Amino acid sequence: MAVLSAASRAGIWRKVQRYWSDQREACNFTKAQLSAAVDATDDWIEANQTSFNQALPAQFRNNATLQQKTILFLYVAARRAGLLDWADGD
């Protein structure tokens, strides 16, 4: 898997700004700093995807799809950041 295209990275840059605007969430950084952060995040995923995959239990790793592993990663990361809107018992 390659890093995202410049257009895809720009799309994320636009999307998160609109999300934070809608949320009225204070952003103490500039557009350029956010753009660099998008790039760094994509680069980090590119550099560490193998490590993440190897950290998964073998049975899951060998049978789950890329999309399933990605959703798993997103859900765990979102829960850690308090971004999921359901309770632990749901």
Footprint of other proteins on this chain (CB under 8 A)? 10, 13-14, 17-18, 20-32, 34
Is the CB of 13 or the CB of 52 nearer to other proteins? 13
Q: Is 29 helix (H, G, I), strand (E, B) or coil?
A: coil
Diameter over CA atoms, the chain: 43
Is the CB of 21 or the CB of 68 nearer to other proteins? 21
**Closest separation in Å from C-beta 81 to other proteins:** 17
Q: Name residue, tokens 């049978």.
A: 63
| Tokens found for residue 30 | 């500039």
**Closest separation in Å from C-beta 42 to other proteins:** 17
